[in-house]
Amino acid sequence: MATNTGEYRLSCELRGHEDDVRGICVCDDLGIASSSRDRTVRFWTPDPQKKHRFLLSKTLAGHSSFVGPLAWIPASDRFAEGALVSGGMDTLVLLWDLSRGEVAETMKGHQQQVTGIAIDDNGDIISSSIDCSIRQWRKGQTVEFWEAHKVAVQAVVKLSTGELVTGSSDSTVKLWRGKTCLHTFQGHTDTVRGLAIMPDLGILSASHDW
């Protein structure tokens, strides 16, 4: 954060994981979720006594290997305190009920590590995997899946228009409407590892090509 002099400094540290952190997710104004190689997801809530400080609220243990991508589902009639979706190297996609701190749905279908998670406008869960596929889940079951790239899919994001964007180890970024590829973006020379949306501007992509 910026100080009065315009300088920047670390405002807080969240300590609790027992191995390196692999993912992070802002959960509206309720807190922050983090995932780790220690096989857990941790939920941190603002400290009511101290500004810019967060306290460990819940530790969610259910994956059998390191946990990577996370997605937030806002509070609803089903999930009074909201929900989290996590993907792991164990090939699972897990839906967590935060109020209970328990797994509400276990999604099995991917053959290799889950690398990306997104939530579509209907509340379906979208996941990408090193197995080259994208899967769409509803009530814990696969309702659609397709081979999105010929090699590992490393990331997936959803646009406000409903389309999906994927990044892959084939160095390309693809735009999808349903299972139809609308466009393939080329330019990177190595694995596309991360994607982010810039509203009214486009998509940012990060690659191993420096």
Asked whether the predicted pLDDT for residue 4 surpasses 70, the reply is no
Asked whether the predicted pLDDT for residue 2 surpasses 60, the reply is no
- Count of domains observed in the chain: 2
What pLDDT is stored for residue 10 in this prediction? 82
Answer yes or no: is 85 within a domain.
yes
Q: How far apart are CA 208 and CA 190, in angstroms?
A: 5
% of the chain residues with pLDDT over 70:
97
Choosing from 63, 87, 108, the residue where a domain stops is 108
In a shared domain, residues 57 and 74 = yes
Choosing from 79, 108, 137, the residue where a domain stops is 108
In a shared domain, residues 119 and 104 = no
In a shared domain, residues 54 and 100 = yes
> Model's pTM, two decimal places?
0.93
In a shared domain, residues 116 and 202 = yes
What domain range is 164 assigned to? 112-210
In a shared domain, residues 152 and 208 = yes
Query: Binning pLDDT at 50, 70 and 90, where does residue 85 land?
Result: very high
Answer yes or no: is 55 within a domain.
yes
How do residues 94-133 score in pLDDT, each as one tens digit? 999 999 999 999 999 999 999 999 999 999 999 999 999 9
In a shared domain, residues 65 and 152 = no
Q: What is the mean pLDDT of the chain?
A: 95
In a shared domain, residues 102 and 119 = no
How do residues 132-189 score in pLDDT, each as one tens digit? 999 999 999 999 999 999 999 999 999 999 999 999 999 999 999 999 999 999 999 9
In a shared domain, residues 171 and 143 = yes
In a shared domain, residues 65 and 141 = no
